[in-house]
A and B are shown apart, each in its own frame.
Chain A
Amino acid sequence: MLGLIDVNIHLLIQNIVNGVLLGLVYALIALGLSLMFGVMGIINFAHGDFLMIAMYFSYVLALALGIEGVLTSFITVPLFVVIGVAWFYTLINRVLKADPLIQIAMTVGILMFLRNIALAIWKAEPRGLPYSALLKSITIGGITISLSRLIIAIISLAVFFALHLFLTRTKLGIAIRATAEDTETAALMGINVKLIYALTTGLSLGLVALAAALILTFTRVDPMIGTVYGLISWCIVAMAGLGTIKGIIFSGLIIGLVEALGMSLISPGARELFIYLTFILILWVRPRGLFGVR
């Protein structure tokens, strides 16, 4: 009898650990979205699909250059920062003052384009990196932890910390926060709001590219994954509210834990259903954020 209980607690801890590692990655993915929404109020439905495209970029680069997936970020991150800035000046700039439905429509258009161009180029089968030096597991006290996930979780934490420092200690970061807080006053104080917006978009996509390079280590990519990651990110933003990195991290952890625990309790087929039901419940119960400052 005792043995049974022992196994169950074991399983529980294993799930919690998995959930935490998963949640940190989700939080990293959602970070860029939170920035764009929080600073500019832009509703980006294509967030998940940018992640998908970035993953394909990393996939192609990793195979072509024969390097570890994570290392492709050195190329993809600056690339996506530039793409973000360009995207702002060409398209976002023109819908800043438009009806939210129109803003969403623009990003949905981008979503459809990205998804189907990926489908045309790489077809529907999932692609993954065939080899990674990090695909090992370590076992501590009976709990198995995938090394890649652990390293990525640590990198995520480092990124959160770095971003926090950036937003609180650097001039540009403070300018970004000021613009998010009160655009008019920021403009009056000499902050070039349009430039801030452009840089925020760039930063947002840069973070997405980084996350993409990281998760490619243990996940495969197909043209359709944008939906799930987009929904997860929006749910995290919904729960976290605006204005805090901590909120994003906590919300990410909650989602990660819900998924990990749900996975073990329910059959794998029902897992996605469980996630989507949780999404709707979160949207109903807390559309204004659990942790947000604003």
Chain B
Amino acid sequence: MIGVSRESIIKALSTRNLIIIITVAFGILPVLLGFNRYYVYLATQVVIFTSMVLAWNIIGGYAGQLDLAAAAYMGLGGAITGLLLCYYHLTPWIGMIVGALAAVGLAVAIGYPTFRYGLREVWYALSTISLVLILQRIYWLIYGTTEEYISEYIPYRWSVLYLRFDRYEPYYYLGVAILLVTLWVNITIRRSKLGYYLRAISEDEDAAEALGIDVRRYKLYALMIYAAIVGLVGGLYITTTGIITYRLFDPDYSLSVAVAGIIGGLGSIPGALIAGVILKTVEEYLRATFGAVILGLHLMIYGILLVAVSVSKPEGLAAIFTYIEKKLLKKGSG
């Protein structure tokens, strides 16, 4: 009797079913939130952030590179999408693709020499920090501190073409769509040659080389996929906030993405998903409640969490899943 029910639990938790559950959960969320404008906006930001964490999982979790440049790719994608929309009235549907391509281009331009010169660990992380700051400075040099408001250029209140809506639900569902795609990309990679190779690279680069893996090339692939997704999401982000400034290139945002990825557990898809959702939700709550009084409280807490996780449970949230998996499998075969 007990064996049967454990087996059926395992079967129920199959990947396909989990994805269906997740889709449904995200799908009905706005209903649960009572279509409250503010909450749906928050949910949109959570979904956007979580997509980036899942994308980061590819370079940070699978390939094991501490990339802190998410804000660079997101900012680039967002800035391009936004500026093309404002100055050329180019629909963001195309603008986002252009932004994603630009992010990939940047990834190759930065990644190729970085990997070619064998920058690892701390040196890689430092170069990514520099990247965000460089892009921020370049934007600032071109546009200064001016803030471009999309609403000034695109006066429509409801336009599918220009992605202008006076409610947040459309943005939310678009975000969910991207999240599901990112989830799908993650799962596909994990079970592919790329996934195996990346995990080998993150374990031991020399051993990977000796097994015929072109380490530089595969790291670059991971970086390009991650940059493309983040750039695309950046485009969506800009349509939700409607403001284009140099503050798009926010190093703290990069850090938050990486922190979520680490706390979720490097390489763990469910971990990344849950960490992204929880951390961003908590952050927005803290910002709303204490934001005026204690600036950066959520970041302080992120910092403490990160220290706690790295010191005591480096596997992050993934440890919980491994534990559950073990418990289920153990009794089933015993």
A complexed with B: yes
Known: A102-B314, A269-B140, A280-B131. A108 touches B306 (CB 8 A): yes
- Interface size for B (C-beta < 8 A) is 46
Within 8 A of A (CB), among B293-333: 294-297, 299-300, 302-312, 314
Q: Are A102 and B310 in contact (CB under 8 A)?
A: yes
- The CA-CA distance from A43 to B124 in the complex, in Å, is 12
A12 to chain B: which residues have CB within 8 Å?
Answer: none
Q: Are B114 and A231 in contact (CB under 8 A)?
A: no
Contact residues of B: prevailing secondary structure:
helix
Q: Are A116 and B303 in contact (CB under 8 A)?
A: yes
Q: Are A113 and B121 in contact (CB under 8 A)?
A: no
B308 to chain A: which residues have CB within 8 Å?
Answer: 109
Within 8 A of A (CB), among B69-127: 113-114, 117-119, 121-123, 125-127
User: Which of the residues A43, A45, A280 comes within 8 Å of B134, measured between beta carbons?
Assistant: A280
A94 to chain B: which residues have CB within 8 Å?
Answer: 311-312
Binary per-residue interface labels of chain A (68-103) against chain B in the complex, 1 for a CB within 8 Å, 0 otherwise = 000000000000000000000001001100111111
B140 to chain A: which residues have CB within 8 Å?
Answer: 269
Q: Taking the complex as formed, is A63 at the interface, i.e. its CB lies under 8 A from any CB of chain B?
A: no
Q: Closest residue of chain B to A114, judged by CB?
A: B303
Q: Are A104 and B121 in contact (CB under 8 A)?
A: yes
Q: Are B137 and A272 in contact (CB under 8 A)?
A: yes
Q: Taking the complex as formed, is A120 at the interface, i.e. its CB lies under 8 A from any CB of chain B?
A: yes
A227 to B: closest C-beta gap in Å: 7
Within 8 A of A (CB), among B210-263: 251, 255, 258-259, 262
Q: How many residue-residue contacts, CB under 8 A, span A and B?
A: 137
Q: Taking the complex as formed, is B129 at the interface, i.e. its CB lies under 8 A from any CB of chain A?
A: yes
Q: Taking the complex as formed, is A151 at the interface, i.e. its CB lies under 8 A from any CB of chain B?
A: no
- The CA-CA distance from A145 to B3 in the complex, in Å, is 82
B281 to chain A: which residues have CB within 8 Å?
Answer: none
Q: Are B141 and A101 in contact (CB under 8 A)?
A: no
Segment at the B interface, from A130-138, A243-251, A283-291: A283-291
- The CA-CA distance from A91 to B130 in the complex, in Å, is 27
Q: Taking the complex as formed, is B207 at the interface, i.e. its CB lies under 8 A from any CB of chain A?
A: no
Within 8 A of A (CB), among B136-184: 137-138, 140-141
Q: Closest residue of chain B to A269, judged by CB?
A: B141
Q: Taking the complex as formed, is B275 at the interface, i.e. its CB lies under 8 A from any CB of chain A?
A: no
A185 to B: closest C-beta gap in Å: 25
Counting chain A CB atoms within 10 Å of each CB, the highest count among B64, B141, B300, B308 belongs to: B300
B267 to A: closest C-beta gap in Å: 12
Q: Are B127 and A104 in contact (CB under 8 A)?
A: no
A101 to chain B: which residues have CB within 8 Å?
Answer: 64, 66, 121, 262, 266
B303 to chain A: which residues have CB within 8 Å?
Answer: 108-116
Known: A112-B300, A238-B123. A273 touches B141 (CB 8 A): yes
Q: Are B297 and A120 in contact (CB under 8 A)?
A: yes
- The CA-CA distance from A94 to B313 in the complex, in Å, is 11
Q: Are A273 and B134 in contact (CB under 8 A)?
A: yes
Q: Taking the complex as formed, is A194 at the interface, i.e. its CB lies under 8 A from any CB of chain B?
A: no
B251 to chain A: which residues have CB within 8 Å?
Answer: 227
B259 to chain A: which residues have CB within 8 Å?
Answer: 105, 108-109, 112
A116 to chain B: which residues have CB within 8 Å?
Answer: 295-297, 299-300, 303
Known: A227-B129, A283-B123, A283-B126. A115 touches B299 (CB 8 A): yes
Known: A104-B122, A109-B307, A110-B307. A280 touches B299 (CB 8 A): no
Binary per-residue interface labels of chain B (34-55) against chain A in the complex, 1 for a CB within 8 Å, 0 otherwise = 0000000000000000000000
Q: Are A231 and B129 in contact (CB under 8 A)?
A: yes
Q: Taking the complex as formed, is A277 at the interface, i.e. its CB lies under 8 A from any CB of chain B?
A: yes
Known: A112-B299, A270-B141. A106 touches B133 (CB 8 A): no
Q: Taking the complex as formed, is A154 at the interface, i.e. its CB lies under 8 A from any CB of chain B?
A: no
Counting chain A CB atoms within 10 Å of each CB, the highest count among B121, B251, B307 belongs to: B307
Q: Closest residue of chain B to A93, judged by CB?
A: B311
B262 to chain A: which residues have CB within 8 Å?
Answer: 101, 105
- The CA-CA distance from A284 to B307 in the complex, in Å, is 29
Q: Closest residue of chain B to A224, judged by CB?
A: B251
Q: Are A120 and B306 in contact (CB under 8 A)?
A: no
A111 to chain B: which residues have CB within 8 Å?
Answer: 303
19 intermolecular pairs with C-beta atoms under 8 Å apart: A91-B307, A101-B121, A104-B66, A104-B121, A105-B310, A106-B307, A109-B305, A113-B304, A115-B296, A115-B299, A231-B126, A235-B126, A238-B123, A270-B137, A277-B130, A277-B134, A279-B126, A279-B127, A283-B130
Q: Which residues of A contact B (CB under 8 A)?
A: 43, 45, 91, 94-95, 98-106, 108-117, 119-120, 123-124, 227, 231, 234-235, 238, 269-270, 272-273, 276-277, 279-280, 283-285, 287
When A and B form their complex, which 4 residue pairs have the shortest distance between CB atoms, in order from nearest? A109-B306, A112-B303, A113-B303, A116-B296
